[in-house]
Amino acid sequence: MRKNILVILAASLAFFVSAAPVRSAILRVPETYKTIQSAVANAADNDLIIIGKGSYKENIVIKKPLQLRSAKGAEATVVTAANKAEPVFKIDGATNVLISGFTATGSDTAGISLNNATFCRIANNILTGNANGLMSYASNKNTISENTASFNAQYGIYLETSNYNNVSYNAANSNGDKGILLSSSSANTVVGNDANLNAWNGIVLWASHGNQIKENKALRNTYAIVMGDSDDNEVSNNSTWPNLFVILPIILVYLGIVNYLVQKNIMKLMYKA
Amino acid sequence: MKLLISILQYVPVTLASIGLIIATSSFISGLQLIRGTSITIEGRIHRLNGYLSIILYVILAVLGFALSGISLWSVFGWFSGFFIILTKLWIVKKSRKKRRAFKYVSWFGASLTLMWLYMVYIHLPL
């Protein structure tokens, strides 16, 4: 009897141990690891890497599920490309990667590059001074949200053959070519983004089908939203030319005429007196 | 500091709006001057509004450089505008001696009004 109880207890213990969630380790840069890449190399799957404030000169390649977070936010954590020909951050064939709270700059490729990545989350980063802010190639079901991808030489956010991604509440302003470009990418959701002041187009869909383009702002670009060879896209509630741009100048010119008449009558009264 | 900058970003659009109002008044009074009706009053209105708009232009240029920094295009843009203003003033001075110069004045006046329209447009917050 006693033996049976012990067996049951041992079996229950084994069950609970196996069912308990795997606790991820926390790795710290620069306290424990001098570089972000060395922390990535030494991390196990699903570990959390916290990067302290400062400037880092690296090209980081991530090939396993990891979380990379900055301790003090994007403005205080700047990562510059050591090798300009490579992206600052590259997710290569990995799933469930988080990159949050970094400034990525100085790459002739991209600030953050997703290559065959799935279920990744890129959030709250500043991607500036690169050829492209964020580049996604053959990557599906990722979330790209609340990033600032501005002042890049070509595109702010560039999706190539990438499907089912969520691109939301990003700022892709003042880029040298386009704000957001979807090329051969389908079933993506592009919602609530700002794509203003880009040299060429705000948002472009090229050979992309079944995307949702909603509630974005595309102001003061050469062209606001451009679609070519693209079908079945839902484009709604985007702001491309707000009424204020038309109404305000008309009101001001009208006020100018009124101002002239008022001034004229005041002058007449003054000189009569 | 951030709050101050965010408030200051709305000041240029207000100044540009006042500038457009004044430039429109100046343009109408300038057209009346060419037609030659009540030259004294129209001339005073035109001069008052004209100089006020130049002051506003200079303030906007200084604010623009302070808030957005100095770049080649911004310097080129502001100096081009200033060149139009100075050319218009020069033609007005010339036209006192040569009546023929009047026909260019209205074109430059219209250019100045369009310039202020553009200034309102570029300063509208996004």
Q: What is the CATH number of the domain that holds A230?
A: 2.160.20
When pLDDT is cut at 50, 70 and 90, the band that residue B4 belongs to is low
Indicate the burial class of B98 (C-beta count within 10 angstroms; 0-12, 13-18, 19 or more): exposed
Answer whether residue A222 is part of any domain. yes
pLDDT digits (tens, 9 = 90+) for A99-138: 999 999 999 999 999 999 999 999 999 999 999 999 999 9
Chain B residues in contact with A217 (beta carbon < 8 A): 126
Quote the ipTM score. Answer: 0.84
Q: Do B41 and A271 lie within an 8 Å CB cutoff?
A: yes
Number of separate domains in chain A: 1
Answer whether residue A101 is part of any domain. yes
Chain A residues in contact with B41 (beta carbon < 8 A): 264, 267-268, 271
pTM attached to this predicted model? 0.75
Owning domain of residue A55 = 25-272
Establish if A199 touches chain B: CB-CB under 8 angstroms: no
Answer whether residue A207 is part of any domain. yes
Answer whether residue A2 is part of any domain. no
Establish if B56 touches chain A: CB-CB under 8 angstroms: no
DSSP B13-75: HHHHHHHHHHHHHHHHHHHHHHHTSSHHHHHHHHHHHHHHHHHHHHHHHHHHHHHH---HHHH
CB pairs below 8 Å between A and B: how many? Answer: 60
Higher per-residue confidence, B47 vs A79: A79
Q: Which of A194, A267, A269 to mutate to test the interface with B (most CBs of B within 10 A)?
A: A267
Answer whether residue A9 is part of any domain. no
Report which residue type is found at A129. Answer: G
Chain A residues in contact with B21 (beta carbon < 8 A): 252, 255-256, 259
Query: Which residues share a beta bridge with A194?
Result: A171, A217
Q: Which residues of chain A have pLDDT under 50?
A: 16-21
Answer whether residue A205 is part of any domain. yes
Query: Which residues share a beta bridge with A236?
Result: A214
Chain B residues in contact with A197 (beta carbon < 8 A): 126
